[in-house]
Structures are given as structure tokens and as C-alpha cells.
Amino acid sequence: MLNNKASYRYAQALFSLAQEKQLQDAILNDCKLLLNEFYQTEELFTIVKNPTINKVFKKQIFEKIFLHKIGKETMNFISFLLKRGRESLLPIILENYNFLYNKEKNIIVAEVVSSKPLDTSLINTIKEKIGVLGAVNLNQKIDPKIIGGFIIKIGDLQYDASIKKQINNVKRAFKI
């Protein structure tokens, strides 16, 4: 959960609506599409965050871009946020919706950071170990700075088995 009470409450309201209409998966897909656009299109993010841009203009932009890409309920929710002047919270609301969906479906979102792409057998082993807690959605990131090994992040927990961490531990032990 991202820590903004208002955004979390709006996400809960959207999730309740999705449950009521049995559209959890469809709205999740809408959220992913919208978030993808926000993170790939800096202009859209800037427009939503800018309080000086007219709400009617913002609504026209959303309709032009997303009208045939997202569901009616999601579009209505965006219109509701625009009327309330809460559109700047939209990216956080979408992230919180994903959090609520994963919590409801008992899906564990984990991230594995490695210096090189991991082979399928190692990814499956990691999923098996984490999967004891529930279904696993594993995202892989490549970061050559960790030199070797891997880092697993699950929520606020982190297991660091990277070479970089081991080098730092040795440096700290010898106070280099």
C-alpha cells in the first residue's frame, strides 16, 4: 500500500465497485494500462499533476486517449476524480488498486534483481520457495551494479545475496 490515506480510500472505493460488478480483473487491466501510460508518457503525468490545467481539458485528453481502451467504470471513476479535483492522486490510486487486488487474490508480488538474466530453472525455484505463502507474481530486473548474485524484494522485506553486499560487508569488517 502506498501511504496516502485519500488515495487508498479511493482505491478501496474502486475495488468495492469492481467486486460489486464482478469486474476486478477488467479494472486491474485498466489500471495496468493507465499506469503504463503514466510511466511512459511524461506529458500525461505532468498534465494530471498540474492544477492550473482546466478539468474539462483534462477530461477531453483522457477520453481521447483512453475512451476505447479502458472500461466504462474506470472512465467514470476518472471523471469522478476530475470533478473532485483529485486527479493528481490517480497514479497512486491505481497502484493501491493493484495492492488491494493482489491482497484479495493472495498474490505475492516479488522482485528479483540480478546482474544477468536468471535462467528459467532458478526463477522457478525462487517461485516455489516464495509460493508457499501464496501465488507469486515475480518481476525480474537487471542491475549490473550488484556484480553477481541476486536481491529478492517482497513488500518491505529484502534478501540481499549479491556480491556487492558481500564486498561491502568485507570493507566494513576491515573498515576500508
Domain extent for 169? 106-174
Residues 97 and 149 in one domain: no
Residues 74 and 110 in one domain: no
Rounded to whole angstroms, how far apart are CA atoms 158 and 164? 15
Rounded to whole angstroms, how far apart are CA atoms 83 and 167? 53
Identify which of 88, 85, 107, 83 has the alpha carbon closest to the alpha carbon of residue 155: 107
Residues 11 and 46 in one domain: yes
pLDDT tens, residue order, the chain (176 aa): 556 899 999 999 999 999 999 999 999 999 999 999 998 988 998 999 999 999 999 999 999 999 899 999 999 999 999 999 999 999 999 999 999 999 999 999 999 999 999 999 999 998 998 888 789 999 999 999 999 999 999 988 999 999 999 999 999 998 86
Residues 132 and 99 in one domain: no
Residues 145 and 126 in one domain: yes
Residues 83 and 141 in one domain: no
3 state DSSP class of 68: coil
Residues 62 and 132 in one domain: no
Rounded to whole angstroms, how far apart are CA atoms 98 and 15? 9
Residues 99 and 30 in one domain: yes
Query: What CATH number is attached to the domain comprising 56?
Result: 1.10.520.20
How many structural domains is the chain composed of?
2
Rounded to whole angstroms, how far apart are CA atoms 38 and 31? 10
